[in-house]
Structure 1
């Protein structure tokens, strides 16, 4: 077994370490590219992102108002009863 270890001993010296500055730079670039892809994917098919944001905000307000209206006791007479 020792014979095989001595044959392959020099092969690890030729491989550069993965913690060098090039590896750090490459990781940073890959992270930036991933963030860019996510942003592009989120806005795919949206022509006007500001309009979409306003619509979502308006829908959230309507949902909030409906939730408050369901909890109020004033509309007790307006419930459907199925028999």
Structure 2
């Protein structure tokens, strides 16, 4: 029975495998795709989320600058 199955499958020399550099590049690309998919999972509009994060970072930076300068000075006026 071994004779019949050996003629149906390709030998080890017929199987094409890419070189190591090509395999590394493909693995890196696949890892980047998985990372991007995981980051966007459950988000309908990823660009909106990025804008919101950027806006909150800008606000935090402004608050730090205000605290360095002594904070906002409010003037009281009585008429």
TM-score range relative to shorter protein: 0.5 to 0.7
Q: Does 2:34 correspond to 1:60? A: no
Q: Take 2:62 and 2:73, find their aligned partners in 1: how far apart are those partners? A: 17
Gaps of 5+ in 1: 1-14, 78-83
Deviation at 1:66, TM superposition (A): 0.7
Q: Which residue of structure 1 aligns with residue 67 of structure 2?
A: 70
Equivalent position of 1:7 in the other structure: none
1:29-53: CA deviations, max 9, x gaps?
A: 2221111111111111211011001
TM-score (norm 1): 0.56
More helix by share: 1
Q: CA RMSD in A?
A: 2.8
Structure 2: state its 5+ residue gaps.
1-11, 75-79
Q: In 2, distance between residues paired with 1:69 and 1:27?
A: 48
Q: For residues 5-20 of structure 1, what are the structure 2 equivalents within 5 Å? A: none
Do the aligned partners of residues 74 and 44 (structure 1) sit closer, same or farther apart at CA in structure 2, a change above 3 Å counting?
closer
Q: Deviations over 1:41-75 (max 9, x none)?
A: 11112110110011011101110111111112355
In the alignment, what sits opposite 1:29?
26
Q: Give the number of equivalent residue pairs.
A: 59
Deviation above 4 Å: which 4+ runs of structure 1? 74-77
